[in-house]
Amino acid sequence: MEIDDDAPQEPYRVCRGCGDRLRRRALRPIEWFNLAAVHGWSSFLLHDDFYDQDGSASQPEASDYTTDGMEAPTLEMCAGSLDRLIDYCITRWRIEPTDFVAFGRFATNDILAGIQERAETGNRHILKTTLELSANVIGSPAAPWVRAQFERASHDSVLFTWAEAAARCLPRPEGLHMTFDALKPLRGRDLQNGMAALSWFRSAEVLDWIEANAPSANVSDSWGRLASLSDLDWTRAQDWLAKGRPHSLVALDALASYIPHRGHAPILKRINPALKGGVDRTAIERTLQSYASDDDAPRVVARCKFIISNLDKLHVQ
Protein backbone atom coordinates (compact mmCIF):
# COMPACT_ATOMS: atom_id res chain seq x y z
CA MET A 1 0.00 0.00 0.00
CA GLU A 2 1.01 3.65 -0.41
CA ILE A 3 0.79 6.14 2.46
CA ASP A 4 1.15 9.80 1.61
CA ASP A 5 -0.15 11.36 4.84
CA ASP A 6 2.89 13.64 5.23
CA ALA A 7 4.70 13.24 1.90
CA PRO A 8 2.37 13.38 -1.13
CA GLN A 9 5.34 13.71 -3.49
CA GLU A 10 7.23 10.83 -1.86
CA PRO A 11 4.74 8.28 -0.49
CA TYR A 12 5.75 5.40 1.72
CA ARG A 13 5.37 2.04 -0.04
CA VAL A 14 4.83 -0.65 2.58
CA CYS A 15 2.90 -3.83 3.30
CA ARG A 16 -0.44 -3.36 5.08
CA GLY A 17 0.81 -4.48 8.47
CA CYS A 18 3.75 -2.09 8.31
CA GLY A 19 1.47 0.67 7.03
CA ASP A 20 -0.79 0.23 10.04
CA ARG A 21 2.18 0.41 12.40
CA LEU A 22 3.56 3.43 10.53
CA ARG A 23 0.34 5.38 11.14
CA ARG A 24 0.26 4.32 14.80
CA ARG A 25 3.90 5.41 15.35
CA ALA A 26 4.64 1.78 16.24
CA LEU A 27 7.18 0.63 13.67
CA ARG A 28 9.64 -1.97 14.84
CA PRO A 29 13.26 -0.71 14.68
CA ILE A 30 14.23 -2.56 11.48
CA GLU A 31 11.06 -1.27 9.77
CA TRP A 32 11.84 2.28 10.86
CA PHE A 33 15.45 1.90 9.70
CA ASN A 34 14.50 0.67 6.23
CA LEU A 35 12.01 3.51 5.72
CA ALA A 36 14.32 6.17 7.21
CA ALA A 37 17.10 5.02 4.86
CA VAL A 38 14.84 5.90 1.92
CA HIS A 39 12.99 8.96 3.23
CA GLY A 40 15.23 10.31 5.98
CA TRP A 41 14.11 10.48 9.61
CA SER A 42 12.89 14.09 9.53
CA SER A 43 9.59 13.32 7.77
CA PHE A 44 6.63 13.48 10.17
CA LEU A 45 5.77 9.81 10.53
CA LEU A 46 9.43 8.85 11.11
CA HIS A 47 10.38 11.88 13.18
CA ASP A 48 12.51 11.88 16.31
CA ASP A 49 9.41 12.96 18.24
CA PHE A 50 8.22 9.37 17.83
CA TYR A 51 11.40 7.26 17.55
CA ASP A 52 14.87 7.23 19.04
CA GLN A 53 17.96 7.10 16.82
CA ASP A 54 17.89 3.30 16.78
CA GLY A 55 14.26 3.15 15.66
CA SER A 56 12.50 2.22 18.88
CA ALA A 57 9.08 3.89 19.19
CA SER A 58 8.84 6.34 22.09
CA GLN A 59 5.05 6.66 22.13
CA PRO A 60 3.53 3.78 20.12
CA GLU A 61 -0.22 3.68 19.75
CA ALA A 62 -0.20 -0.10 20.15
CA SER A 63 -0.50 -2.16 23.33
CA ASP A 64 1.46 -5.09 21.88
CA TYR A 65 4.49 -3.09 20.74
CA THR A 66 7.79 -4.98 21.01
CA THR A 67 11.25 -4.68 19.48
CA ASP A 68 12.40 -8.25 20.23
CA GLY A 69 14.12 -9.77 17.21
CA MET A 70 13.41 -6.67 15.10
CA GLU A 71 16.37 -4.47 16.05
CA ALA A 72 17.87 -2.02 13.54
CA PRO A 73 21.36 -2.85 12.23
CA THR A 74 24.36 -1.37 14.01
CA LEU A 75 27.35 0.35 12.44
CA GLU A 76 29.31 -2.88 12.72
CA MET A 77 26.58 -4.78 10.88
CA CYS A 78 26.46 -2.19 8.07
CA ALA A 79 30.19 -1.60 7.69
CA GLY A 80 30.75 -4.44 5.23
CA SER A 81 28.33 -3.07 2.60
CA LEU A 82 28.70 0.37 1.03
CA ASP A 83 24.98 0.66 0.30
CA ARG A 84 24.03 -0.37 3.83
CA LEU A 85 26.62 1.96 5.33
CA ILE A 86 25.09 4.88 3.44
CA ASP A 87 21.69 3.70 4.70
CA TYR A 88 23.03 3.79 8.24
CA CYS A 89 24.37 7.35 7.89
CA ILE A 90 21.05 8.57 6.47
CA THR A 91 19.25 7.28 9.57
CA ARG A 92 21.60 9.00 12.05
CA TRP A 93 20.56 12.15 13.89
CA ARG A 94 24.24 13.07 13.75
CA ILE A 95 26.98 11.29 11.81
CA GLU A 96 29.91 10.57 14.11
CA PRO A 97 33.64 10.41 13.26
CA THR A 98 33.55 6.63 13.67
CA ASP A 99 30.88 6.48 10.97
CA PHE A 100 33.14 8.36 8.55
CA VAL A 101 36.06 6.07 9.36
CA ALA A 102 33.97 3.04 8.39
CA PHE A 103 34.09 4.14 4.74
CA GLY A 104 37.86 3.59 4.68
CA ARG A 105 37.55 0.07 3.26
CA PHE A 106 35.79 1.28 0.11
CA ALA A 107 37.26 2.92 -3.00
CA THR A 108 36.68 6.67 -3.26
CA ASN A 109 35.11 6.38 -6.73
CA ASP A 110 32.64 3.78 -5.46
CA ILE A 111 31.65 5.97 -2.50
CA LEU A 112 31.15 8.97 -4.77
CA ALA A 113 29.02 6.95 -7.19
CA GLY A 114 26.96 5.64 -4.29
CA ILE A 115 26.17 9.04 -2.81
CA GLN A 116 25.48 10.53 -6.23
CA GLU A 117 22.87 7.87 -6.89
CA ARG A 118 21.24 8.47 -3.51
CA ALA A 119 21.17 12.24 -3.95
CA GLU A 120 19.54 12.00 -7.38
CA THR A 121 16.58 9.99 -6.08
CA GLY A 122 16.43 11.35 -2.55
CA ASN A 123 14.82 14.30 -0.81
CA ARG A 124 16.33 17.25 1.07
CA HIS A 125 17.39 15.08 4.00
CA ILE A 126 19.21 12.67 1.69
CA LEU A 127 20.97 15.54 -0.09
CA LYS A 128 22.14 16.90 3.26
CA THR A 129 23.59 13.53 4.28
CA THR A 130 25.35 12.94 0.97
CA LEU A 131 26.93 16.40 1.09
CA GLU A 132 28.16 15.72 4.61
CA LEU A 133 29.71 12.46 3.43
CA SER A 134 31.37 14.28 0.54
CA ALA A 135 32.94 16.72 2.98
CA ASN A 136 34.14 14.21 5.54
CA VAL A 137 34.84 11.08 3.51
CA ILE A 138 35.70 12.04 -0.08
CA GLY A 139 37.19 15.55 -0.25
CA SER A 140 38.49 17.06 -3.51
CA PRO A 141 37.47 14.16 -5.83
CA ALA A 142 33.86 15.15 -5.09
CA ALA A 143 34.41 18.73 -6.33
CA PRO A 144 32.49 18.47 -9.65
CA TRP A 145 29.51 16.86 -7.95
CA VAL A 146 29.46 19.33 -5.02
CA ARG A 147 29.67 22.23 -7.47
CA ALA A 148 26.70 20.84 -9.39
CA GLN A 149 24.57 20.70 -6.23
CA PHE A 150 24.85 24.42 -5.49
CA GLU A 151 21.51 25.53 -6.95
CA ARG A 152 19.60 22.64 -5.43
CA ALA A 153 21.20 23.16 -2.02
CA SER A 154 20.33 26.86 -2.11
CA HIS A 155 16.69 26.17 -2.95
CA ASP A 156 16.33 23.23 -0.53
CA SER A 157 17.69 25.22 2.43
CA VAL A 158 20.77 23.05 2.90
CA LEU A 159 23.30 25.77 2.09
CA PHE A 160 24.96 25.25 5.48
CA THR A 161 25.83 21.62 4.70
CA TRP A 162 26.70 22.43 1.09
CA ALA A 163 29.17 25.02 2.35
CA GLU A 164 30.92 22.44 4.52
CA ALA A 165 31.34 20.25 1.44
CA ALA A 166 32.45 23.24 -0.65
CA ALA A 167 35.04 24.27 1.94
CA ARG A 168 36.57 20.79 1.93
CA CYS A 169 36.12 19.77 -1.70
CA LEU A 170 36.38 22.90 -3.89
CA PRO A 171 39.54 24.93 -4.47
CA ARG A 172 39.77 28.14 -2.46
CA PRO A 173 38.07 30.60 -2.63
CA GLU A 174 35.46 29.22 -5.05
CA GLY A 175 33.06 27.83 -2.47
CA LEU A 176 33.26 30.96 -0.32
CA HIS A 177 32.42 33.27 -3.21
CA MET A 178 29.54 31.03 -4.31
CA THR A 179 28.19 31.22 -0.77
CA PHE A 180 28.49 35.01 -0.80
CA ASP A 181 26.43 34.98 -4.01
CA ALA A 182 23.75 32.79 -2.40
CA LEU A 183 23.43 35.24 0.50
CA LYS A 184 23.09 38.40 -1.62
CA PRO A 185 19.28 38.32 -2.00
CA LEU A 186 18.69 37.54 1.70
CA ARG A 187 17.66 40.13 4.27
CA GLY A 188 16.88 40.27 7.96
CA ARG A 189 16.34 36.95 9.72
CA ASP A 190 16.84 34.99 6.50
CA LEU A 191 20.33 36.47 6.16
CA GLN A 192 21.05 35.90 9.83
CA ASN A 193 20.14 32.22 9.47
CA GLY A 194 21.82 31.71 6.11
CA MET A 195 25.16 33.34 6.91
CA ALA A 196 26.11 30.47 9.23
CA ALA A 197 27.20 28.69 6.03
CA LEU A 198 30.20 31.03 5.91
CA SER A 199 31.52 29.51 9.14
CA TRP A 200 33.11 26.56 7.33
CA PHE A 201 35.53 28.67 5.30
CA ARG A 202 37.53 30.12 8.22
CA SER A 203 38.42 33.13 6.08
CA ALA A 204 39.30 36.75 6.83
CA GLU A 205 37.20 37.62 3.78
CA VAL A 206 34.20 36.77 5.94
CA LEU A 207 35.26 39.45 8.42
CA ASP A 208 35.19 42.02 5.60
CA TRP A 209 31.74 40.73 4.67
CA ILE A 210 30.57 41.14 8.28
CA GLU A 211 31.79 44.73 8.34
CA ALA A 212 29.78 45.49 5.21
CA ASN A 213 26.61 43.60 6.15
CA ALA A 214 26.14 43.76 9.93
CA PRO A 215 22.73 45.33 10.70
CA SER A 216 22.59 48.69 12.41
CA ALA A 217 20.17 47.37 15.05
CA ASN A 218 19.09 44.03 16.55
CA VAL A 219 22.56 42.54 16.27
CA SER A 220 22.22 38.90 17.33
CA ASP A 221 25.12 36.93 18.75
CA SER A 222 25.25 34.87 15.54
CA TRP A 223 27.28 37.70 13.96
CA GLY A 224 29.91 37.43 16.67
CA ARG A 225 29.92 33.65 16.46
CA LEU A 226 30.58 33.86 12.72
CA ALA A 227 33.41 36.34 13.32
CA SER A 228 35.01 34.04 15.89
CA LEU A 229 35.03 31.21 13.33
CA SER A 230 36.62 33.40 10.65
CA ASP A 231 40.14 33.96 11.97
CA LEU A 232 39.35 37.10 13.96
CA ASP A 233 42.45 38.64 15.50
CA TRP A 234 42.73 41.00 18.45
CA THR A 235 43.75 43.94 16.26
CA ARG A 236 40.51 43.79 14.26
CA ALA A 237 38.48 43.16 17.43
CA GLN A 238 39.98 46.34 18.94
CA ASP A 239 39.16 48.24 15.76
CA TRP A 240 35.54 47.09 15.91
CA LEU A 241 35.26 48.09 19.57
CA ALA A 242 36.60 51.55 18.68
CA LYS A 243 34.07 51.91 15.85
CA GLY A 244 31.15 51.41 18.20
CA ARG A 245 27.87 49.78 17.30
CA PRO A 246 27.10 47.53 15.53
CA HIS A 247 30.69 46.36 15.09
CA SER A 248 31.53 46.65 18.79
CA LEU A 249 28.65 44.29 19.65
CA VAL A 250 29.93 41.79 17.09
CA ALA A 251 33.42 42.02 18.64
CA LEU A 252 32.09 41.39 22.15
CA ASP A 253 30.05 38.38 21.08
CA ALA A 254 33.04 37.04 19.14
CA LEU A 255 35.31 37.31 22.18
CA ALA A 256 32.68 35.53 24.30
CA SER A 257 32.59 32.72 21.72
CA TYR A 258 36.23 31.93 22.50
CA ILE A 259 35.25 31.03 26.08
CA PRO A 260 33.66 27.58 26.53
CA HIS A 261 30.36 27.83 28.37
CA ARG A 262 26.97 26.16 28.65
CA GLY A 263 24.90 26.62 25.51
CA HIS A 264 27.95 26.82 23.24
CA ALA A 265 26.85 26.33 19.62
CA PRO A 266 27.71 22.84 18.28
CA ILE A 267 29.94 24.25 15.54
CA LEU A 268 32.01 26.09 18.16
CA LYS A 269 32.53 22.84 20.04
CA ARG A 270 33.46 21.06 16.83
CA ILE A 271 35.92 23.64 15.44
CA ASN A 272 37.12 25.17 18.74
CA PRO A 273 38.30 28.49 17.19
CA ALA A 274 40.96 30.67 18.78
CA LEU A 275 41.51 34.43 18.88
CA LYS A 276 44.57 35.25 16.78
CA GLY A 277 47.25 37.88 17.13
CA GLY A 278 49.56 37.49 20.12
CA VAL A 279 46.86 38.25 22.66
CA ASP A 280 47.65 40.17 25.86
CA ARG A 281 44.88 39.35 28.33
CA THR A 282 45.66 42.42 30.43
CA ALA A 283 45.20 44.64 27.37
CA ILE A 284 41.86 42.97 26.65
CA GLU A 285 40.70 43.62 30.21
CA ARG A 286 41.67 47.33 30.04
CA THR A 287 40.02 47.75 26.63
CA LEU A 288 36.75 46.13 27.76
CA GLN A 289 36.63 48.13 30.99
CA SER A 290 37.04 51.31 28.97
CA TYR A 291 34.39 50.28 26.46
CA ALA A 292 31.88 49.34 29.16
CA SER A 293 32.29 52.78 30.74
CA ASP A 294 31.36 54.39 27.40
CA ASP A 295 28.46 52.05 26.55
CA ASP A 296 26.71 51.06 29.77
CA ALA A 297 23.81 49.17 28.16
CA PRO A 298 22.99 46.05 30.22
CA ARG A 299 23.91 43.72 27.35
CA VAL A 300 27.32 45.36 26.95
CA VAL A 301 28.10 45.46 30.67
CA ALA A 302 27.10 41.82 31.15
CA ARG A 303 29.14 40.68 28.14
CA CYS A 304 32.24 42.61 29.22
CA LYS A 305 31.93 41.26 32.75
CA PHE A 306 31.64 37.69 31.47
CA ILE A 307 34.72 37.99 29.23
CA ILE A 308 36.86 39.72 31.87
CA SER A 309 35.96 37.18 34.56
CA ASN A 310 36.83 34.30 32.22
CA LEU A 311 39.94 35.67 30.51
CA ASP A 312 41.93 32.68 31.79
CA LYS A 313 39.65 30.42 29.71
CA LEU A 314 39.82 32.54 26.54
CA HIS A 315 41.07 30.31 23.72
CA VAL A 316 43.93 32.14 21.99
CA GLN A 317 46.55 31.30 19.38
For 239-294, how does the pLDDT look when each residue is reduced to its tens digit (9 = 90+)? 999 999 999 999 999 999 999 988 888 999 999 999 998 889 999 999 999 999 99
Boundary (domain end) residue, out of 199, 221, 236: 199
Is 220 in contact with 193 (CB distance < 8 Å)?
no
Amino acid at 30: I
Question: Could you give the CA distance from residue 224 to residue 234 in angstroms, rounded to a whole number?
Answer: 13
- End position of a domain, from candidates 148, 170, 199: 199
Instruction: Give the range of the structural domain holding residue 283, as residue numbers without chain letter.
Output: 202-317
Residues 161 and 212 in one domain: no
More confident site: 12 or 122: 12
Residues 216 and 172 in one domain: no
Last residue of a domain, one of 199, 221, 253: 199
pLDDT at 51 over 80: yes
Q: For residue 240, what pLDDT is reported?
A: 98
**What was the pLDDT predicted at 282?**
94
Q: What one-character-per-residue DSSP string does the chain give?
A: -EE-SS-TTS-EE--HHHHHHHHTT---HHHHHHHHHHH-S-SGGG-TTTB-TT--BSS-S-TT---TT-PPPPHHHHTT-HHHHHHHHHH-SS--HHHHHGGGGS-HHHHHHHHHHHHHH--HHHHHHHHHHIIIII-GGGHHHHHHTHHHHHHTT-HHHHHHHHHHHSPTTHHHHHHHHHHTT--HHHHHHHGGGGGGG--HHHHHHHHHH--SS---HHHHHHHHTTT-BHHHHHHHHHH-TTHHHHHHHHHHHTS--TT--HHHHHH---BBS---HHHHHHHHHHHHHH---HHHHHHHHHHHHTGGG--B-
Q: Are residues 221 and 315 in the same domain?
A: yes
pLDDT score at 210: 98
Mean confidence (pLDDT) of the chain: 95
What does the alpha-carbon distance between residue 90 and residue 264 come to, in Å, rounded to a whole number?
26
One domain for residues 171 and 258: no
Identify which of 17, 159, 8, 34 has the alpha carbon closest to the alpha carbon of residue 91.
Answer: 34
Is pLDDT of 187 > 90? yes
CA–CA separation, 35 vs 19, rounded Å? 11
Task: Dump pLDDT digits (tens) for 135-154.
Answer: 999 999 999 999 999 999 99
Q: Using CB atoms within 10 A of its CB, is residue 33 exposed (0-12), middle (13-18) or buried (19+)?
A: buried
- Co-location of 194 and 206 in the same domain: no
Lowest mean pLDDT across 7-16, 123-132, 162-171, 283-292: 7-16
State whether 222 and 294 are in the same domain. Answer: yes
Cα 147 to Cα 22: distance, rounded to the nearest angstrom:
37
Check if the beta carbon of residue 127 is closer than 8 Å to that of residue 153: yes
Q: What is the model's pLDDT at position 4?
A: 86
